[in-house]
Structure formats: structure tokens, C-alpha cells
Amino acid sequence: MNTDIQVSPETMFTETEIGKQKRWIENVMRIFFLVMTSLMIIPLLLIIGYLLYKALPVLSLEFLFTNPKDNMRAGGLWAPFLGTIYLVVVSLLVAAPIGVFAAVYLNEYARESWFTRITNLAVVNLAGVPSIVHALFGVGAFVLFAGLGESILAASLTLAIMTLPVIIASTTEALKAVPMSFREACWNLGATRWQTIRRIVIPNSISGILTGVILQVSRAAGETAPIMFTGAVFYKAIAEGNLFAYNITEQCMALSLHLFTISTQVPDVTEGIPYGTAVVLVGSVLLVNAVSIVLRIYVRTRKKW
Amino acid sequence: MNILRKKSAANLPFSETVIELFIRLCGLSSIIFVFGIFFFVFREGAGFLFNGLGLGQFLTSPEWYPTSLSNKRYGTFALILGTFSVTALAMCIAVPFGLGAAIFVSEFCSPKLRETFKIIIELLAAIPSVVWGFIGLTLMNQLIITVFNAPIGLTMLNGSIMLALMSVPIIVSIAEDALKAVPDSYREAAEALGATRWQVIYRVLLPAAKNGLLAAVLLGAARSIGETMAVLMATGHSVNIPSGPLSWIRTLTATIAAELGEVARGDEHYQVLFIIGVLLFTITFVVNLIADLVIKGIRQE
């Protein structure tokens, strides 16, 4: 047989023109996407660095534990900081049980049907409702209709509903991670549905559930719009150092609203204070998030199945 | 199976029946809340919507003079345009970066690097909107004044950059999920034919994941439309038909946030703000619904 094509040993393992071009494009693309990704991450570091740098002169423990003074032109963050803690804790107490049980229903009770489909759609849509619409809802439902007035309670309930999808989504994920065989084994021993959930499903997914609850805290702490008209005020003096200075039927200050107020509404604020407020707000939110991430990584490494 | 369940239900102790009832109620909660939100927001604004406010004028007139003494006018056209233009510009910035980052994280990264990037993106998503607004007000304001030699940096561009940074994490995470959902056999088949990584992405993954990527963009846009504090603080907040990236604008969300504190309950102006709320609810509801249908579409395939 006559072969026209001769493959010599020298050319067999060298790259063809087209191969070279392919490899070149590949590398360009890899670097291009790397740059795209880094361009998102650099702002995060830059912003945190900038805020910290500007806030450095005012940051101290005293800043955290004194009230705002001089019509909020000076002083510290005690009243808004405590207010945010109140709002977060009360909203957590409402949202955590409802959210966890809603996820339990969706994952353990409901069977695949048009009804579960609608429920899931409602969760997605609840997460997509703009924060300012939640504020309007809070005004309409809690402040006026339920007669709670502008109070910590009304603001917390608004926050609770807003952050519910966070808890539902992460709890559902945690419950799904528990193998079906665990439940089946338990049912076979004669346990009821609820006994199985309480003794087997929840203990085996508790860390995952906690991750979602912690994320809810971080989300609730940072929100401004939903609390603006439902319970947070520009200024309210409270006793310094007293953890029980607020009453949940009264209004309170909040870190996020305080940052908005002193950076847009109050003239001549001492230079570093808005930056200090931003650092405390971002710092607490990121800290809470970091806890949630560490917990998640810990759960993953400890997983027994 | 059904027989078994019925039998055990009959034998349940009373406490368990109560607990099951409570769990079922919680399961319904999100449906109740979505309807509740619509109902209560609509209720506050309904009176004026049905008598007094012309819907045509409300949607198409650019004249927003709610506090005028002689002739109050409630046209939201400029505000709607403000919302959509700032969102569109934000998406122009966020979509390339978001999809690019999603492709990098899902296709080019080592597993360890991927985890790191995902954590950083998650932290980016956690920064509260009021802080983004504050950054727009201070850092980005200065930057725009210096770079574009503009008289003031609180512009549509400023707001769009802030919104882009806020919606990128959503786009990345959903787009990454969509890319991951493409079966590995697709990648293997393409690689076996001699395709490079980039060729696999461009010719196989992007077409296969296009629905998921579209949903990612839609959800990012929904987030931008609904965002309040960042646009309130960073866009200049003046009613204006936008003429370019450096013009001042005002959005639907920012209008509610800025004016609700100053109106008396039951006032026309107060009711109009709630009607704007209904409008916003409807817009985001529709966008979310489309995104959901698009995602469900892929699953059924």
C-alpha cells in the first residue's frame, strides 16, 4: 500500500499551528476570567481598608459604650448598637421557629405536588420582595392594623418576615442532607413522624440549621429600610451600660439607620464618626457571617455519612 | 403506604396532633406572608387608587410634585425610568463580571481556590446596603468627581456601580449552580474530541446552561430594582428624566424611603407612596416568577 503521508519522528510530537493557537487562547481566557474575578474581590478589600483607615481615629471601646452626643455630632454608638441587638434578637425569636418548622414541613411532610410548588415559589418571591415594600407592609400590618405603633416589636416582626426565606432555604438544605435511610430505620422501629423528626432528623442537621439562623442575624442587623418607619428613630437617649434600657413596645435607635442619619441628615459630624459607625456595622455583620462559614466548614469535615 | 399513614394518624397522641398542625401552619406561612404583604400594602393605597388617581397619568407623567400647594401631581414616569436606567447600567457592569467570575470559579479553579472565592463572594453579599450607600456618598463620589471632572459625583453611574457590586454575588452563585448542573459527560465528550477548556465552555457549557444564566441575570436585576438605601444615598435623589450616566436620578424605592416619614397618614401623598409599593411588588414578583419558570424549565429537561 502506498502512503503519501509520512509522519517523521521529529514532527509527530511538536505542536501544530492550530494547537498552538488553541493553547494561546486557552491561556488568555484563563487570565481574563481570573482578572474578572479579582476585580470583584479587590473592591471588597479596598472598601474595608478605606473604612478602617478613615475610622481609626475614633475606634475604641469607649466609642462603642457611650451615647451619641451634641445632636449626634460627637459621642459614641451605645444607643444604636443596643437597639440593633434588640431588633435582631426579637426578630430571631420570631423567625427561627417559623422558618425551621416551615422547612420541616416542606421537606418532611409535604409530598411533591402543585401545592409544594406554590409554597416554594412563595418562599422565592418572599425573598425577592424589595426591602422598602416590607417596610410599607410593616407600617400597614403591624404599626397600624395590629396597633403595635412604631415600636421595637413592630420593626422586629417586619425584619422577621423579611429574613424568613434565609432560614427556610438553609434549613431545607440541612434537612435534605440527612440520608433517607436514617428516617426509614426510625419509622421501622414504630416511631411517629414527629418523633423521627425530633430524635433523628433535627439532631443530625442541627449545625446546618444553626448556620441559617446565624445568617438571618447578619441579614437582620444590616437592614435599614424595613425598620425606618416601623420602629427605629433618629435619636433616643438611653442609660449607658444598661443592657435593659429599651422596652420592646417603644422605639429604638439602630446602627444602620444611625449611619444613614449621620451621613446624610446631620451637618458637621465629627470627621471619623460615620466611618467608625460603618466599620462597627460591617465588622459585626462580617463577624457573624464568618462564624456561620466556619461552622459550615466544621460540619462538612465532621460529616459521618 | 396510605393505609399505614392513616392508621398511625388515628393513633397519634394529642400533643403530636397539635405539633403537626403547628408545622403545617408554618409551612403555609410564606404563602400567607406573600399575600399579606400585597394585601396590606394595597389596602393603604387602595382608596386613592380607585378614586382620584388616574392610573394613566400615574404611570406616564414625568411630573412628580406631591407637595405642591396649588396643583399636586403624582406622575411616576421619571421615577420608573430612574429605576430601570440605574438597573440597566448596573447590569451592564455586573453581568460580564458576574458570569466571568462564575465561569472562572466553576471551570478554571482548583477546589481549594474555589472555596476561598466563594467565601469572599459570600462576604461581599453580606455588606449591608446602607454601607454601600455610604461608600457611594464618600469614596465613589470623590472618585467620580476626580475622574470625570463632574461637579458632583452622586449620579446614576455612582448608584449603578454600587448596585453592580451588590448584585454580583447573586449572579455569581446562581450562574455557578447553573454551570455545575451541566452533566460532566458533556464536558468529557467535548474534551475527548480534543476541545480545549475554553472551547468546552464556549461551545458546550454556555449553550447548555443558558437558561440558568438568564435566571441569574434576572434575579440580579430584581435585586437591583428593589434596592433602596444605596440608590437613595448615591444617585443624587432628584426627579429627573435621565440623560446619561452622569445625570442625577431618583428611583421608586428611594422616593418611598425619603417621603414616607414626612406625610400624614391617609393623605393622598401617603396613599400614592403605597401604590408605588404595589407597583414595585408587582415588578419584582413578575421578574422572580419568570426567573423561577426559567429555572424549572431546565430541571424538566
Residue B74 three-state SS = strand
* Total Cβ atoms within 10 A of residue A237: 12
- Say if the Cβ atoms of B199 and A22 lie within 8 Å: yes
| Number of structural domains in chain A | 1
Residue A10 phi/psi, 5° resolution? -70, -40
- Using DSSP's 3-state secondary structure scheme, residue A182 falls into helix
First-residue to last-residue Cα distance in chain B: 30
Q: Per the CB < 8 Å rule, is B256 touching A293?
A: no
Q: Contact at 8 Å (CB) between A247 and A201?
A: no
A214-247 tens-digit pLDDT: 989 999 999 999 999 998 888 888 888 788 888 8
Residue A44 lies in a domain: no
B134: closest CA of chain A, how far (Å): 7
* Grid-cell match 419584582, residue found: B284
Contacts of A179 (CB under 8 A, 6+ apart): A305
Q: Residue A2: how many CB atoms within 10 A of its CB?
A: 3
Q: Retrieve residue B2's grid coordinates.
A: 396510605
- Return mean pLDDT, chain A: 88
Between A167 and B5, whose confidence is greater?
Answer: A167
Q: Which helix (H) or strand (E) holds A59?
A: none
Kindly indicate the confidence band of residue B2, based on its pLDDT and cuts at 50, 70 and 90. very low
How many CA atoms lie within 13 Å of A97's alpha carbon, on the beta-carbon side?
A: 8
Is residue A220 assigned to a domain? yes
Contact B22 A33 (CB under 8 A): no
Q: Which letter, b or e, does each residue of B2-37 get, where b requires 16 or more Cβ atoms within 10 Å of its Cβ?
A: eeeeeeeeeeeeeebeebbeebeebbebbbebbebb
Domain span at A226: 79-302
Does any domain span residue A209? yes
pLDDT at A300: 79
Cα A163 from Cα A113, distance rounded (Å): 26
Task: List the beta bridge partners of residue A68.
Answer: A75
- The domain spans of chain B are 78-300
| Residue A293 pLDDT > 70 | yes
Strand partners, B74: B64
Burial B76-90 (b: 16+ CB within 10 A, else e): bbbbbbbbbbbbebb
**ipTM score of complex:** 0.90
Residue A37: which of B28, B101, B199 has the nearest Cβ?
Answer: B101
What pLDDT is stored for residue A59 in this prediction? Answer: 86
Radius of gyration from C-alpha coordinates of chain A: 27
> Which candidate, B84, B295, B175, places its Cα nearest to that of A40?
B175
Does the residue A21 lie in any domain?
no
Q: What is the mean pLDDT of residues B77-97?
A: 94
In a domain, A26, yes or no: no
Q: Half-sphere exposure of A304 toward its Cβ, with a 13 Å CA cutoff?
A: 4
B10 vs B178, which has greater pLDDT? Answer: B178
A167 within some domain: yes
The answer to whether A44 contacts B124, with C-beta atoms less than 8 Å apart, is yes
Chain A residue numbers with beta carbons less than 8 Å from the beta carbon of B288 are: 124-125, 128
- Is B40 within 8 Å of B22 (Cβ atoms)? no
H helical segments located in B149-267 = 156-180, 184-192, 197-200, 206-208, 210-226, 229-234, 252-259
What's the CA gap between A231 and A282, in Å, rounded?
22
Give the chain B residue nearest A43 (alpha carbons).
B165
CA atoms within 13 A on the CB side of A31: 5
Residue A138 cell numbers, joined: 410593616
CB-nearest partner of A263 from B119, B137, B197: B137
pLDDT class of B7 with cuts at 50, 70, 90 = very low
The pTM assigned to this predicted structure is: 0.89
**B201 vs B168, B172, B174, B213, B277, CA distance in Å?**
20, 16, 17, 13, 41
CATH code, A270: 1.10.3720.10
Alpha carbon distance A272, A51 (integer Å): 10
pLDDT, tens digit, 9 for 90 and up, residues B227-260: 999 999 998 888 888 888 888 899 999 999 999 9
DSSP symbols for A202-251: HHHHHHHHHHHHHHHHHHHHH--HHHHTTTB-S-----TT-TT---TTS-
- Quick count: other Cβ atoms within 10 Å of Cβ B296? 15
Query: Looking at the predicted structure, is the pLDDT value of residue A304 above 80?
Result: no
> Most confidently modeled of A2-6, A31-35, B134-138?
B134-138
State residue B118's pLDDT score: 87
Please report how many Cα atoms fall inside a 13 Å half-sphere around the Cα of residue A187, on the Cβ side: 13
In terms of CATH, what superfamily is B78-300?
MetI-like (1.10.3720.10)
Whether residue A141 is contained in a domain is answered as: yes
Q: What is the pLDDT of residues A25-48, one digit of tens each?
A: 888 888 888 888 888 788 888 889
Residue A41 covered by a domain: no
* Residue A255 C-alpha, separation from nearest chain B C-alpha, in angstroms: 10
The answer for B 235-254 residues in CB contact with A (under 8 A) is 253
B30·A137 Cβ contact <8 A: no
Residue B299 reports pLDDT greater than 90 = no
The answer to whether A125 contacts B288, with C-beta atoms less than 8 Å apart, is yes
Buried b (16+ CB within 10 A) or exposed e, A96-119: bebbbbbbbbbbbebeeeeebeeb
Residues of chain B above pLDDT 70, percent: 95
| Number of other residues whose CB lies within 10 A of the CB of residue B92 | 12
Assess contact for B197 and B107: CB atoms under 8 A.
Answer: yes
